[in-house]
Amino acid sequence: MPRWKALPESMDPRVRRLVVELRRLKDHSGLSMAALASRTGFSKSSWERYLNGRVSPPRHAVEAMADACGGDRIGLAALWEVATADTAPGPSQPAPAPAPQEPEQPEITEAVLGEPRAPEPPAPDGRTETGGPGTGRAPRRRRPVATVAGAAVVAAALAVAAAVAVAIAWPGSPSAEPEPRAAAATTKVPTSTYSVETFPCYFTLHDGLLYAGHSTTLTDEYHVGITVEAVAEVQCLVRRHGFDPQGIDGSFGPHTRAAVQRFQRSRGLTADGVVGPMTWRELRRPGD
């Protein structure tokens, strides 16, 4: 389990709570930063900034993490809504210091806390709302303070988020079985996303199907030459059925191909050593 850096003291308590929940979800999932990046589409450096409180994560990153780690998407989205609610501070309460912004990776657009303000329309006489006496411009209009109804909505969202956070069942817990993500449509599988390493097998049953904790696909195709975490799912399952791939390393090599071929022959499938929809269907069967 990683040793997290202390979050900034000036961080908004609502944002702090969201970051703490995201850290806890990652710790319970057992995923590395590289594996989290591979499953969500956000870079490893982006997740390091999100989870260290340097940049507030966008909503779709929070939802992607919930899907990848087996967390509660609705509960985390509620926490995100609370953390990014634009409420004005009271007369005696200073506004919390926002998290500093940093340049992001080119492949992903990262949003800092809050939503960008649209340009203010010009006044009827052509002057903008900025400026003051002596500038020839109309003074800026004050933004209205949050209404009582708005405050009640935020308080209700806080209560819902707290209740959902307590009810979250983390992956690996003996009292709850993680719900796998919906089966993905067939996609182009990357040939390599990380260096070879050893993976554990965490077997669970959901809707009568067997999962090993590294992929929930029922359609993606894997064959010799591919090195991704989902290959560890193949290796765990084929070994569970009695055919040893001689290692759970996420690399589809000749030993894994031989184990897959033996498994395919045992199930009456074409022994081509390629894991596609028909082989996945048999691998996901719990067996006797």
**pTM of the complete model:** 0.37
* DSSP of 165-199: HHH---TT-TT--PPPPPPPPP-PPPSBSS-----
Domains of the chain by range and CATH? 13-114+150-167 (1.10.260.40), 204-283 (1.10.101.10)
Give the model's confidence band at 270: pLDDT under 50 very low, under 70 low, under 90 confident, else very high: very high
Please give the sequence-ordered ranges of beta strands (E in DSSP) within the chain, or none if there are none. Answer: 204-206, 209-211
Please give the DSSP secondary-structure letter assigned to residue 130. Answer: -
Highest mean pLDDT among 28-32, 54-58, 132-136, 248-252: 248-252
Total Cβ atoms within 10 A of residue 187: 10
Highest mean pLDDT among 25-39, 48-62, 83-97, 252-266: 252-266
Q: How many residues does the chain have?
A: 288
Between 278 and 126, name the one with better pLDDT: 278
Q: Do 80 and 18 form a contact (C-beta atoms < 8 A)?
A: yes
> Three-class SS of residue 209?
strand
Q: What is the pLDDT of residues 101-141, one digit of tens each?
A: 444 444 443 444 444 444 555 544 544 444 444 444 545 55
